[in-house]
A and B are shown apart, each in its own frame.
Chain A
């Protein structure tokens, strides 16, 4: 890796150079990576509980520990893994595999929207760094990076750091769940099941900019609720997001 455009900050973050000297222009620094990892710490208990639950389900389904961890390390999408395990077919046919993949795409379709919001943040960065970073894209670092950028942060390593921290947690915490088998306690007892929704609610408060500038938020929520009542499944996320997105055109500037 000695291409001429390689930034010294990539490989040698501690060495003083013009880029790291100025926090306004610093890019892909270890300091940004570490800050991103620290910013997602509040999510660790929730992810841990979810990973343990996944390990438990995988053990019950007859998967080996190696297969369980390999799925976490490659797919790295909790809801997808849970849903697919739950509906794994008795025999693999072309049709049943196509069903698994359609389910995977549907459950994860919200990431198409999430990824779109990252274009203004990462659009100026080189593709060879952005596309590997996007492998680690999950909601907590996305939320934290939106906040970090809105406060003036500009280091894309922030999201990579958060993503890697979530990745390590997600893969390793499936081990105790797998070993414990069915004996994971009730996450509701400690409110762990509501950590993610609570963070979403906390994010909504500053996003609320008065009724005439928040049509997307209002329509998105109402459409999702209506779709959930009528159809169930995961459609509410897609319908709510698209409806909110189109309603946002009518927001006052």
Chain B
């Protein structure tokens, strides 16, 4: 367990900190050293949507009916009101309601 090797724990922690920091700066650093042509620009434009879709779609499907109902409410409110705060609030409220109904 962690307690038995306190020194090792701190060494691993330092290495993890370095690895995580490298992931945070690597993308920014790399892109600054590439020439951005039209293809690369289109790829970068598509990046935020790709990451967000890739993150949320499996959550949506694995979350079952509760997640589907709640996140549909979020999308609906967002399309109508265009205010993300209220969209998230609606989704969370529906999720809490769905839990109360045993979903």
Contact = CB atoms under 8 A, between A and B. Distances in A.
B49 A217 contact: yes
Given A108-B20, A240-B53, A194 B95 contact: yes
Given A61-B1, A62-B3, A111-B23, A194 B50 contact: no
B15 to A, nearest CB: 6
B49 A236 contact: no
A150 B51 CA distance: 18
A248 B46 contact: yes
Given A104-B16, A134-B24, A244-B49, A202 B84 contact: yes
A240 B50 contact: yes
A36 to B, nearest CB: 16
Nearest to B31: A119
A78 B45 CA distance: 27
Q: Which range contains the number of B residues in contact with the other chain?
A: 35 or more
Contacts of A236: 54, 58
A137 B29 CA distance: 14
A182 interface: no
B54 A221 contact: yes
Contacts of B11: 97
The binding surface of chain B is classed by DSSP as helix
Contacts of B50: 113, 216-217, 219-220, 240-245, 247-248
A201 B95 contact: no
A44 interface: no
A204 B43 contact: no
30 contacts: A62-B2, A64-B3, A67-B2, A74-B14, A74-B17, A75-B13, A92-B5, A105-B19, A105-B22, A113-B27, A115-B28, A115-B31, A117-B47, A119-B32, A122-B28, A123-B32, A134-B21, A135-B21, A188-B99, A189-B99, A198-B87, A204-B49, A215-B46, A216-B45, A216-B46, A224-B54, A228-B58, A241-B50, A244-B50, A251-B46
Given A67-B2, A91-B5, A113-B50, 19 more contacts: A62-B2, A109-B23, A117-B48, A118-B28, A188-B99, A194-B63, A195-B92, A197-B60, A199-B84, A204-B52, A205-B78, A206-B82, A216-B43, A220-B51, A222-B57, A224-B53, A240-B55, A249-B43, A251-B45
